[in-house]
Amino acid sequence: MAVIPEFQRKGIGGQLLYRSVIVLGHVDYYPGFGFVPAEKWSIRSPYEVPANVFMALELVPDGLENVSGLVKYPEFRRPDRPGHLSTGP
């Protein structure tokens, strides 16, 4: 992790540190590690998937307190097919 020197000591580093994990994944796997449906925090998937496969885990107590809304995965989007998961080149 790095913050451009002239922007350091402004709290940016602290905001970049992970306080939670959100996954779109297998319902038989992630709950075993404590993940629960992200709808608990009104956190929504950008994709039309069953609620029980979109899950979240707080890494610190109340790590998702006051967090809600639509998750965006810009790195997965194909410019020619907005909203679609990229499946390869």
> Which DSSP symbol is given to 53?
G
Dist. CA 5–CA 26, nearest whole Å: 40
| Selected range binding ligand COA among 3-11, 34-42, 46-54, 55-63, rule: CB under 6 A | 3-11
Count of residues of this chain found to bind ligand COA when the rule CB under 6 A is applied: 10
**Alpha helices (runs of H) in the chain, residue ranges in sequence order:** 12-16
Q: Is 38 left (phi over 0), alpha (psi -120 to 50) or beta?
A: alpha
Does 13 engage in binding with ligand COA (CB under 6 A)? Answer: yes
Q: Does 6 bind ligand COA (CB under 6 A)?
A: no
SS3 assignment, position 69: strand
Per CB under 6 A, 84 contacts ligand COA = no
Nearer to ligand COA, 1 or 70 (CB): 1
Residues that bind ligand COA (CB under 6 A): 1-3, 8-14
